[in-house]
Amino acid sequence: MTERDGVDAIIEQWQRERPELDHSPIGVVGRVSRLARAIEDRLEPVYKEHGLEPGWHDVLATLRRSGTRLRPTDLTNATMLTSSGMTKRLDKLEAAGLVAREPDPGDRRGTLITLTAAGRELIDALTEAHLENERRILGGLDPLEQRQLANLLRKLQLALPPG
C-alpha cells in the first residue's frame, strides 16, 4: 500500500461529508500547495547562511543568469513582484552593496540595475549551495521521476488558465 499523507486525510474527510463531489483535484493542488511552502522553508536557511534577506535571491539570481543589466521593469516581470515591492528590494540590495543603479543610455529617464562585484561573488557562491540544497530536497525521487515530475509540472503551468 502507498504511504499516506495529510492530503489523503483531507480527501477522505471530504468524501465522507460530500460524497457526491469529485475531490481528486485536492490530491494534486493540495500537495503542490503544501510542497511549495515546505520547499520555501528548506530554501530560506541556505539564503540566510549566505547573508540574504528573504526575496533577495530571486533578484540576484535573475541579474546573474541574464548576463547583463536589467531595467527594474524586467526584474519586476521576472520575479512577479509589484513595482513598489521591487523598488524596496532594490533599495535594500543597493544599500547592502550587492546591486548598483546606472542611468540607461537608451532612455534618459530609465535606470539599469547591475550586480556589483560583491553581488556577483555572493550569488555565484550561493548558487552552488542552492543547487545542492535543491538536490537534497528532490532526493526522494530518482532522476527519471524528477524529469517526469518536471515535465508534468511544466505541462500544468502552461495549461493554467489566466488568473
42, 62: one domain: no
For the cut 80, the answer to whether the pLDDT of residue 163 exceeds it is no
87, 147: one domain: yes
**pLDDT tens digits, residue range 4-23?**
999 999 999 999 999 999 99
Please give the pLDDT value at position 50: 93
72, 19: one domain: no
Question: CA–CA separation, 42 vs 139, rounded Å?
Answer: 13
Return the CATH number at 85.
1.10.10.10
Please give the pLDDT value at position 2: 81
Query: Please, are residues 118 and 64 in contact by the beta-carbon 8 Å criterion?
Result: no
Domain range spanning residue 139?
Answer: 53-163
107, 154: one domain: yes
**pLDDT tens digits, residue range 36-95?**
999 999 999 999 999 998 889 999 999 999 988 999 999 998 887 888 989 999 999 999
Q: Which residue has the cell 460524497?
A: 19
Query: Please, are residues 34 and 7 in contact by the beta-carbon 8 Å criterion?
Result: yes
Please give the pLDDT value at position 80: 77
Please give the pLDDT value at position 1: 63
- Structural domain count, the chain: 2
